[in-house]
Amino acid sequence: MWRNLDETSALQVRYLRLKSCSGDWEDNRIDNMGGVTAPATTTVSPVCIEGGNARFIGTMAITGYYGENAPVAKHAPDNGWYADVPLDPDAATNLTVSFQDGASEVQKTVTWLPVDMLEEQNQTIRLNDSLRLVVSEGDANEDVTFTIEGQNYVTDIAPR
């Protein structure tokens, strides 16, 4: 071990040879690059999933989404990435995110939960997001008021 106690000195390495390497460092490196954060449940679709290493974002693929348009990973701050992934309204969505042309894969399952209109008072969503609205109990023919950007919309909802 070299300890630099003198500010005018420096350590210079002229030659370094690796004699042996234990473990599978390549697989470990690829696994460390493939983290995915996704909620198990959400009330909106598409769901935003994200990860922490966007260095090879062009070699990523996301499968298992609902619909025809494949989600595309986009750059996020601090070398991260995110993708908006459409969810199946009728079943859990089993996602696979692959990294470096399939060298590593991460599986996540996300379930799109309905919003009960008789229990939820306010719900804020992003532009182009979708909600699954249901009425679980109570007066099924009750009028429901939606307020969107200050505009009120009244409708009656029948139970499912």
Helix (H) or strand (E) holding 28: helix 25-32
pLDDT at 119: 79
More confidently predicted of 3 and 116: 116
> Is the dihedral angle over the CA atoms 154, 46, 53, 30 positive or is it negative?
positive
| Confidence band of 7 (pLDDT split at 50, 70, 90) | confident
Give the tokens for residue 49.
């999933």
Partners of 95 in beta bridges: 108
| Span 5-14, average pLDDT | 79
- Chain segment 28-81, per-residue pLDDT in tens: 766 666 789 999 999 999 999 999 888 889 999 999 999 888 999 999 998 899
- Distance, in Å, from the CA atom of 87 to the CA atom of 66, rounded to the nearest integer, reads 5
User: Which domains are delineated in the chain?
Assistant: 25-112 (2.60.40), 115-156 (no CATH)
Give 57's DSSP letter.
G
- Say whether pLDDT at 13 is over 60: yes
- Say whether pLDDT at 159 is over 60: no
pLDDT at 55: 82
- Chain segment 88-147, per-residue pLDDT in tens: 999 999 999 998 888 889 999 999 999 887 776 777 889 999 998 887 765 556 677 777
Taking the chain, what is the end-to-end CA distance rounded to the nearest angstrom? Answer: 71
